[in-house]
């Protein structure tokens, strides 16, 4: 082992020893620790310590059973034990490359994993790509991201608030500040509760595109009138810990606004697992004199703001932050770390990390030490360690591990989650013995849809007949999964075409996105008879026709409940509205839906202004499988594709061809597939301000 390898290993060992630390019991009073960053910007802006002092004083005077303390020195505490018994930690500091948590990620993550709360204020919400961004997502569900989020000074109007403790006592307010928006959040906002949201105007994007000033995706979102979340609460699924992100507080005087101050005080209490009063945390409005106390000494600072840290190019960031998992040296090092620890949490963390790095791959050559290490891990008393070991052994081509997965999947007495994991791993490995089991799983409602989609992995002569025979007896979700699966291979698509011709499957059942894939596979044979109608070049004329149809009188007579049903049939697979739907396209809950012209433009010409994030990518694998979706992640080993109803990881070694179409995933001609009354009902539903019941 050379010196560099020993150094890396010692760093790994130090990192994972932190997982073994036990949690300290909290004091009778919930302890709240404030960490302040180094001074930045000019006077009365980014006043980290002074802002923290105002918040801590308010909490200590509230009589709510908390003990709030601002650390005397700026930066991460030298003696980090001061954080061990904290109920929550408030961080107000410079972000991105100079974020005070960057060199302490592992140490801070240990606190988060034991359930300690965290509140990040203003620039502290901005994370570097790579490990910092990943940690921020885990800790508080979202973060400010370069080339995605923006930082304009604007005056949002906060009119409504969720039924959540952090919103207790808030009343509608507006306040000018540097409110960052267009955050990166966890998938589908799972666990995230937006607290402060507003629709920014186009004036917030007057600056040219840049890392913090604008980009095509945020411009599209603003043009669509999408609501932006500038403060949010998050509950971590594993530890039960809580996080809160708050993008305001550039202006120190903002703390004099009672609602502005209250939402952060409420959040601090909530993340500390302390009950928030019904009217929120009480606090006195700080006087002008109090606002001038504890300010950072910025007397010698130039009038110009501190130069922004250098923005690394994406490839450079990847090189620094991502340890590539396709090298034998990397794997050998991590397996050695597994061999040298008996801590279950450390083992799980290492195994999860390796599996994540090898996601989508199969038949990977294992390190020489793996056979002995896996034999030890498979005897662990920890079920998670054993399960992860089995999964990794499959990636390494271990037939015994694959057989164990087959046995687990076939055993109806096994836990459902274990069977799901076995099915997923076997599909990744494309194990041929899985095929007959898929047919049996069609009889199990809990695994039916995964089994249907599993057929797309294989080129099976029997698959189309099996699926089409069962098609009439299944419910809508399973039927749609069958159509999606039969549109992934040419031989499957041919069988579906024959079923359409024989009326075994109704053409009315075909979703537009499935028809598009079938057109790609079968060409004019399919398109001439069942493909989407092509619109004329004069889309303005088509828009005018529908504008004449959707008059105020006809919309008034339309049925929003029936419109919701139409939305479920033609829109919900890709779009979310009122918290239900897919994630392929934008969430349209907060969009400019009340404007009929907006609805007509985006439904009739969805590709008129399509950002890269929503362009359709079609991947054909070497086995003949066609996958269509939007790319949500990519590195030198794999592509992560968001498809209708599922997310798929494709190893680049499996890709035969890849085509990016300069069009939206949403096809043109959707309205033309609907009856006139269905169009009116859909528009009526899209213009609602709150969810309506489905028709009875």
* pLDDT (average), residues 347-367: 84
What is the reported pLDDT for 47? Answer: 94
Q: 652 pLDDT exceeds 70?
A: yes
Rounded to whole angstroms, the Cα distance separating 91 from 111 reads 14
Across-strand partners of 237? none
DSSP string, 321-338: H---SSSHHHHHHHHHHH
Domains and CATH numbers, the chain: 37-291 (3.40.50.880), 328-485 (1.25.10), 539-686 (2.30.30.100)
Q: 321 pLDDT exceeds 50?
A: no
Least confident of 148-157, 305-314, 622-631: 305-314
CA proximity to 97, closest of 51, 131, 50: 131
What is the reported pLDDT for 134? Answer: 94
Banded model confidence at residue 663, pLDDT cuts 50, 70, 90: low
Banded model confidence at residue 690, pLDDT cuts 50, 70, 90: confident
Rounded to whole angstroms, the Cα distance separating 508 from 174 reads 48
Rounded to whole angstroms, the Cα distance separating 119 from 265 reads 10
pLDDT tens, position by position, 466-497: 999 999 999 988 998 899 899 999 999 999 99
Q: 308 pLDDT exceeds 60?
A: no
More reliable by pLDDT, 685 or 612 = 685
Strands 66-70 and 30-36: parallel
Least confident of 14-23, 108-117, 542-551, 615-624: 14-23
CA proximity to 114, closest of 251, 224, 213, 22: 22
Q: Which two tokens stand for residue 551?
A: 């008059």
Extended strands (E) in 236-338 = 242-246
Taking the model in full, what pTM does it have?
A: 0.47
Banded model confidence at residue 202, pLDDT cuts 50, 70, 90: confident
CA proximity to 169, closest of 269, 273, 309: 269
Least confident of 119-128, 233-242, 569-578, 596-605: 596-605
Q: 2 pLDDT exceeds 70?
A: no
Count of other CB atoms within 10 angstroms of residue 33: 23
Sorted by sequence, the CB contacts under 8 Å of residue 693 that are 6+ apart come out as: 561, 564
pLDDT tens, position by position, 20-75: 332 333 347 899 999 999 998 888 899 999 999 999 999 999 999 899 999 999 99
Banded model confidence at residue 445, pLDDT cuts 50, 70, 90: very high
Q: What share of the chain is helix, strand, coil (3-state, %, to 5)?
A: 45, 15, 40
DSSP string, 476-534: HHHHHHHHHHHTSSHHHHHHHHHHHHTTSS-GGG--HHHHHHHHHHHTHHHHHHHSPPP
More reliable by pLDDT, 55 or 317 = 55
Rounded to whole angstroms, the Cα distance separating 269 from 68 reads 10
Q: 300 pLDDT exceeds 50?
A: no
- Could you tell me what percent of the chain has a pLDDT over 90? 47
CA proximity to 13, closest of 318, 351, 339, 328: 339
* pLDDT (average), residues 527-552: 75
* pLDDT (average), residues 213-220: 89
Strands 88-92 and 30-36: parallel
Sorted by sequence, the CB contacts under 8 Å of residue 541 that are 6+ apart come out as: none
* pLDDT (average), residues 558-573: 87
Rounded to whole angstroms, the Cα distance separating 495 from 510 reads 14
Work out the mean pLDDT of the chain and round it to a whole number.
Answer: 84
């Amino acid at each position: 082992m050379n010196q560099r390898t020993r150094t890396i290993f010692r760093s790994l060992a130090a990192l994972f020893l932190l997982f073994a630390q036990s949690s300290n019991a909290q004091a009778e009073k919930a302890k709240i620790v404030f960490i302040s960053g180094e001074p930045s910007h000019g006077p009365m802006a980014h006043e980290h310590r002074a802002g923290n002092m105002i918040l801590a004083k308010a909490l200590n005077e509230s009589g709510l059973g908390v003990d709030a303390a601002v650390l005397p020195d700026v930066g991460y505490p030298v003696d980090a034990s001061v954080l061990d018994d904290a109920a929550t930690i408030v961080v107000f500091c410079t972000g991105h490359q100079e974020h005070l948590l960057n060199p302490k990620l592992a140490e801070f993550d240990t606190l988060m994993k034991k359930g300690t709360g965290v509140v990040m204020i203003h620039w502290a919400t901005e994370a570097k790509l790579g490990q910092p961004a990943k940690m921020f997502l885990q800790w508080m569900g979202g973060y400010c991201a370069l080339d995605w989020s923006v930082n304009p000074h604007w005056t949002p109007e906060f009119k409504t608030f969720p039924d959540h403790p952090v919103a207790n006592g808030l009343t509608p307010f507006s306040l000018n500040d540097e409110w960052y928006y267009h955050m990166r959040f966890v998938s589908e906002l799972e666990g995230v509760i937006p607290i402060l949201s507003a629709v920014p105007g186009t004036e917030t994007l007057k600056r040219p595109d840049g890392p913090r000033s604008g980009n095509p995706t945020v411009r599209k979102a603003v043009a669509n009138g999408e609501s932006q979340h500038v403060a949010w609460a998050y509950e971590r699924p594993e530890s039960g810990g809580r996080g809160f992100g708050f993008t305001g507080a550039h202006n120190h005087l903002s703390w004099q606004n009672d609602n502005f101050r209250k939402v952060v005080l409420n959040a601090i209490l909530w993340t500390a697992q302390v009950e928030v009063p019904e009217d929120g945390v009480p606090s006195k409005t700080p006087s002008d004199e109090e606002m001038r106390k504890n300010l950072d000494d910025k007397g010698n600072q130039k009038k110009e703001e501190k130069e922004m840290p250098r923005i690394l190019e994406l490839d450079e960031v990847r090189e620094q932050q991502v340890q590539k998992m396709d090298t034998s040296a990397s794997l050998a090092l991590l397996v050695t770390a597994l061999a040298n620890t008996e801590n279950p949490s450390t083992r799980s963390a290492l195994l999860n990390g390796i599996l994540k790095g090898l996601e989508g791959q199969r038949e990977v050559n294992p390190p020489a030490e793996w056979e002995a290490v896996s034999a030890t891990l498979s005897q662990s008393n920890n079920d998670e360690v054993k399960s992860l070991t089995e999964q990794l052994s499959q990636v390494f081509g271990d037939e015994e591990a694959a057989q164990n997965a087959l046995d687990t999947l076939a055993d109806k007495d096994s836990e459902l989650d274990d069977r799901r994991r076995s099915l997923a791993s076997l599909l990744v490995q494309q194990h041929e013995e899985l095929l007959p089991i898929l047919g049996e799983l069609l009889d199990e409602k809990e695994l039916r849809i995964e089994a249907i989609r599993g057929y797309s992995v294989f080129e099976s002569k029997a698959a189309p007949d099996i699926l089409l025979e069962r098609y009439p007896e299944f419910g809508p979700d399973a039927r749609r999964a069958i159509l999606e699966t039969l549109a992934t291979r040419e031989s499957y698509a041919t069988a579906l075409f024959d079923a359409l011709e024989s009326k075994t499957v109704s053409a009315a059942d075909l979703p537009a996105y499935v028809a598009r894939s079938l057109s790609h596979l079968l060409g004019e044979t399919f398109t001439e008879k069942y493909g989407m109608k092509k619109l004329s070049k004069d889309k303005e004329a088509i828009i005018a026709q529908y504008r004449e149809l959707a008059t105020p009188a006809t919309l008034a007579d339309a049925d929003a409940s029936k419109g919701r049903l139409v939305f479920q049939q033609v829109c919900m697979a890709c779009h979310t509205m009122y918290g239900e739907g897919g994630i392929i396209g934008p969430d349209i809950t907060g969009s400019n839906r009340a404007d009929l012209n907006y609805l007509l433009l985006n439904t009739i010409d969805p590709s008129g202004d399509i950002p890269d994030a929503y362009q359709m990518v079609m991947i054909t694998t070497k086995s003949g499988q066609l996958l269509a979706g939007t790319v949500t992640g990519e590195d030198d080993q794999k592509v992560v594709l968001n498809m209708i109803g599922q997310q798929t990881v494709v190893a680049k070694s499996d890709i035969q061809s890849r085509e990016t179409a300069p069009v939206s995933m949403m096809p043109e001609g959707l309205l033309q597939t609907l009856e006139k009354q269905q169009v009116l009902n859909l528009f009526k539903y899209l213009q609602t301000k709150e969810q309506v019941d489905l028709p009875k």
